[in-house]
Amino acid sequence: MKKKGFDFYIQGAVQLGIAFGVVSILARWITGNTILSSPQTLIRYGLIGGIGYAFMGGLALVLFGFVARKISYTFTGQMTIGDVLKQKLNPFGYWYMMILLFVMGFYALFIQTMGAGLLLYILFPFPLFIGMTVFLLLLFLIGGIGGLYRIHQLAGISVILIFGTIILIPVYLYMHEGVTTIFEGIRLYHPYLLFTKNNESLWFISTGLLVFFGQMITDRATWQRVFIIKKEKVKMAFVLTGMIWLTIPIAITSLFLLAISGRSFDNPYSLIFELISILNSTVLIFIFVLFCFAAVMSAASSELQSLNSLFIRNVVAEFKPLSTKQQFKYKNSFSIVLIGVLFLAALFLTPYPTQLLFFFGNIYSSMIFAILYIVFNKDNETLPPVLSSFVGIVGGFISSPFTTYFESVWISFLLSGILCGLFLIKKSIQQHSPASLNSEEQPYDAN
């Protein structure tokens, strides 16, 4: 593969084995939202929420490993999720799905940018626009210019830094403070965190699993990694990633337990301040800040690169053939527009991480059965996946004023599942109908 070709920008240099496949997937899925959502999850749902957050993310990755294996063996030679949709759907279904993918892709990129903005606002005294300018410039250089090859060069460093931080800091602080002292401090000041009979947390975990899995099964960058990991290794790569990933939120939760043991706090975000205040070492503070930005940058650059790939390969190329020079020119222009919009959004909006995590939960949950239908169904049928996801999305949003948010996510999921199930039943009946059986027997009889 030529280094100057656009395919090299999409897929990098080589096919990945298990080890580097795990690193690449971890770099995509350890995000800023994982860090920023942990304080809110801990405070609202206690220890069960913190452990459940880890469980639902890890299990979603493990489950996706089984889907990834089917994708890898069925759609050999493809590069993006857009390639698969083009192969399986008619033009109406293709563009419907592509619009949803771009909406979700921009939303995922927006989440990471807002996470970076929030961290900059919390950690540093200088004006937000200075930090955002530096962050978005690096994002453009890595994800916009560098491509997957450059992202993979930095992925190993990012993952080492992340795991080094979440292992080093808790061990240091627990040895310094003492486990018993920390436990007694939590029991005295925040006994509600130890309350385990919390039905709402179970509702949060089950719904979160749906949202996580919906995110993964529609994630542009994750599909690209499915196509560059060796077929026989792809399932194991995702399973191992899921088992490793679930240690991250638990470690971050333990960090925040350290921060609030023996003291109160103003709001969930102040837990990051509290955590930094107990790090009595400039080196540890520096490592923690690097950890936060490594997580945000690796996830955001992967998303920008995948959106660029989808835009050039599956949108622009549908209307006119492009030379290599034109592909890079269009890609750079698209990146600059995206980054400009993100810069303005980060300056004027201040959403909360858990709201961001679940804001598009209806869309994610309604897409699960649609994508599964496309991947596992042998025929090229547009109506079942398109109609089921559309009804699921609309049903979820219509029901949201009359239900809790978690209930509306489940309504979206169930509506799309019921419709897909009805299509499968209808198809099965048609295949076993007398007319269909007779038409299959005619060639045999003729012989």
Residue-wise DSSP of 309-342: HHHIIIIIHHHS---HHHHHHHHHHHHHHHHHHH
At residue 439 the predicted structure's pLDDT band, cuts being 50, 70 and 90, is low
Q: What percent of the chain has pLDDT over 70?
A: 92
Q: Indicate whether 358 pLDDT > 70.
A: no
- Per DSSP, the chain holds a count of helices (H) and strands (E) of 21, 0
Q: What is the pLDDT of residue 446?
A: 43
Q: Indicate whether 281 pLDDT > 80.
A: no
DSSP single-letter state for residue 250: H
Angle (CA) 178 183 185, round 5°: 95
Highest mean pLDDT among 69-83, 108-122, 170-184, 344-358: 69-83
Q: What percent of the chain has pLDDT over 90?
A: 30
Nearest residue to 143 (alpha-carbon basis) of 292, 135, 313: 135
Range from 28-37, 133-142, 380-389 carrying the lowest mean pLDDT: 28-37
Q: What is the mean pLDDT of residues 14-27?
A: 85
Q: What is the pLDDT of residue 306?
A: 93
At residue 374 the predicted structure's pLDDT band, cuts being 50, 70 and 90, is very high
**Across all residues in the chain, what is the average pLDDT?**
84
| Contacting residues for 108 by C-beta, under 8 A, at least 6 apart | 215, 219, 303
Residue labelled with tokens 């800091």: 169
Length of the chain: 447
DSSP single-letter state for residue 192: G
Helix (H, G, I), strand (E, B) or coil at 229: strand
E-only strand ranges, 231-339: none
At residue 444 the predicted structure's pLDDT band, cuts being 50, 70 and 90, is very low
Q: Rg (Cα) of the chain, in Å, rounded? A: 23
Q: What is the pLDDT of residue 85?
A: 94
Helix (H) / strand (E) containing 294: helix 282-311
Q: What is the pLDDT of residue 357?
A: 56
Residue 159: is it exposed, middle or buried by C-beta count within 10 angstroms (0-12/13-18/19+)? Answer: buried
Q: What is the mean pLDDT of residues 28-35?
A: 79
> Does the model's pTM come out above 0.85?
yes
Q: What is the pLDDT of residue 445?
A: 46
- Here the tokens at position 72 are 């890898």
Q: What is the pLDDT of residue 351?
A: 52
C-alpha torsion angle, residues 250, 251, 256, 259 (rounded to 10):
150
39 within 8 A of 256, measured Cβ to Cβ: yes
Q: What is the mean pLDDT of residues 41-60?
A: 86
Q: Indicate whether 220 pLDDT > 80.
A: yes
List pLDDT tens digits, range 312-341: 999 999 898 888 888 899 999 999 999 888
Q: What is the mean pLDDT of residues 51-73?
A: 91
Q: Indicate whether 1 pLDDT > 60.
A: no
Nearest residue to 270 (alpha-carbon basis) of 42, 29, 34: 42
At residue 261 the predicted structure's pLDDT band, cuts being 50, 70 and 90, is confident
End-to-end CA separation in angstroms for the chain: 50
Q: Identify residue 376 by its one-letter amino acid code.
A: F
Helix (H, G, I), strand (E, B) or coil at 196: coil
Nearest residue to 293 (alpha-carbon basis) of 54, 117, 50, 53: 117
